[in-house]
């Protein structure tokens, strides 16, 4: 073995409630090859869910995609107990296993966090000191014969979903949210969580003929001072029912910063997502009974034809809401 070669190894994180040995449940495996490059794959109930694909970070100081050496591993049980005002379930009680793997490149360190639960896996990175992130190598690889529902990336996320075999997906950029149906019965929903403004969200890039989808950051670079963690990249894994009912993205997200939620109340509302933009929304307010609706959600960008200037856009929201709702609409 060359002196510069890394010592290969594999480390598997197993969801709570199943034996550590065997292949039941969700299992995520991080592997280090002889070049010191990392990959992540996953299985569900003994079947392949995600093929091994590269992971890692590239910063302006260190390239953590090659030349790594394993340092240490810790496993911790994670419990989620929280309530939400609306959603698939109001009271959430979930459990997960968090596996933290520390890798070194010279004196530099990077920790890979992998959380596994009965609903799938989540991945992020931790840096012990400030760094400027240039690129994520994070990739998910799907079987080419899986049926994939996805949409071409655009900033408004409104290009529309289409479904075809992974092998037929054209080269390009795609929204982070995509749903794969494997021939072995596994279902995989890719997404992200914990994008709180301190780190970049992203999209997927893809080359036709492969099953690989690689994270491309929305920002050209992310400069952070002091220790930090990245956003979570998530994969809900299981049956169709498991994926549909999954709260994985909520579970790994930071806790809400809103301490007083008493003002959040459900009610009857009309969503004016109709052709006609601002004019249609004003007409909706004039419909019989329209004034009795507790709310009318408005997309702020619908007023863009009334710009320039945020002030004019805010006035447009006030006029859309009507006199009876101006306090809530205009502040």
> What confidence tens digit (pLDDT) does each residue in 107-128 have?
999 999 999 999 999 999 999 9
**Rounded alpha-carbon distances, angstroms, from residue 1 to 35, 39, 69, 104, 257:** 11, 21, 15, 19, 52
pLDDT for residue 84: 84
Does the pLDDT value for residue 287 go beyond 90?
no
> What confidence tens digit (pLDDT) does each residue in 73-108 have?
999 999 999 888 777 788 899 999 999 999 999 999
Residue 292 banded pLDDT, cuts 50, 70, 90: low
d(CA 171, CA 169): 7
Average pLDDT, the chain: 86
pLDDT for residue 103: 98
Does the pLDDT value for residue 158 go beyond 90?
no
Q: Model's pTM, two decimal places?
A: 0.84
> What confidence tens digit (pLDDT) does each residue in 138-149 have?
999 999 999 999
Q: What is the DSSP letter of 176?
A: S
CA angle 151–193–74, rounded 5-degree value: 130
Across 299-307, average pLDDT: 46
Does the pLDDT value for residue 195 go beyond 60?
yes
First to last CA, the chain: 68
Q: Are 324 and 291 in contact (CB under 8 A)?
A: yes
Does the pLDDT value for residue 185 go beyond 60?
yes
Q: Are strands 9-14 and 26-32 parallel, antiparallel or unpaired?
A: antiparallel
- Alpha carbon 66 to chain centroid, angstroms: 25
Q: Are 112 and 30 in contact (CB under 8 A)?
A: yes
Residue 26 banded pLDDT, cuts 50, 70, 90: very high
User: What DSSP assignment string belongs to 38-83?
Assistant: EEEEEEETTEEEEEEEEE-EEESS-BTTSS-EEEEEEEEEEEEEEE
pLDDT for residue 18: 96
pLDDT for residue 154: 93
pLDDT for residue 282: 63
pLDDT for residue 252: 96
Query: What percent of the chain shows pLDDT beyond 90?
Result: 69
Kind and range of the H or E element at 196?
none
> What confidence tens digit (pLDDT) does each residue in 247-274 have?
999 999 998 888 888 887 777 766 655 5
pLDDT for residue 86: 76
Residue whose C-alpha is closest to residue 94's, from 253, 229, 230, 260: 253
């Amino acid at each position: 073995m060359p002196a510069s070669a890394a010592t290969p190894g594999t480390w598997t994180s197993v969801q709570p409630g199943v034996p550590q040995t065997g292949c039941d449940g969700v299992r995520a495996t991080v592997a280090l090859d002889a070049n010191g490059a990392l990959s992540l794959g996953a299985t569900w109930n003994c079947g392949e869910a995600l093929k091994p694909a590269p992971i890692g970070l590239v910063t302006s100081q260190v390239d953590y995609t090659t030349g790594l050496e394993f340092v240490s591993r810790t496993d911790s049980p994670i419990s989620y107990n929280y309530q939400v005002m609306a959603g698939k379930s109001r009271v959430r009680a979930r459990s997960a296993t968090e596996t933290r793997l520390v890798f070194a490149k010279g004196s530099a360190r990077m920790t890979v966090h992998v959380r596994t639960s009965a609903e799938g896996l989540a991945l992020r990175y931790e840096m012990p000191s400030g760094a400027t992130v240039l690129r994520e190598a994070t990739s998910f690889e799907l079987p080419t014969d899986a049926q994939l529902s996805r949409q071409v990336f655009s900033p408004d996320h409104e290009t529309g979903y289409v479904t075809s075999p992974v092998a037929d997906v054209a080269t390009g950029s795609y929204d982070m949210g995509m749903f794969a149906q494997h021939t072995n019965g596994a279902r995989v929903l890719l997404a992200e969580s914990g994008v709180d403004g301190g780190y970049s969200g992203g999209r997927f890039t893809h080359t036709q003929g492969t099953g690989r989808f690689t994270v491309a950051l929305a920002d050209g670079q992310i400069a952070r001072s002091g220790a930090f963690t990245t956003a979570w990249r998530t994969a809900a894994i299981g049956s169709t029912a498991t994926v549909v009912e999954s709260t994985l993205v909520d579970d790994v997200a930071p806790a809400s910063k809103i301490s007083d939620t008493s003002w959040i109340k459900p009610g009857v509302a009309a969503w004016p997502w109709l052709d006609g933009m601002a004019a249609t929304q004003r007409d909706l307010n004039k419909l019989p009974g329209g004034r009795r609706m507790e709310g009318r959600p408005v997309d702020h960008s619908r007023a863009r034809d009334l710009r320039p200037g945020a002030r004019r856009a805010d006035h447009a929201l006030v006029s859309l809401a009507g006199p009876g709702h101006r306090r809530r609409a205009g502040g």
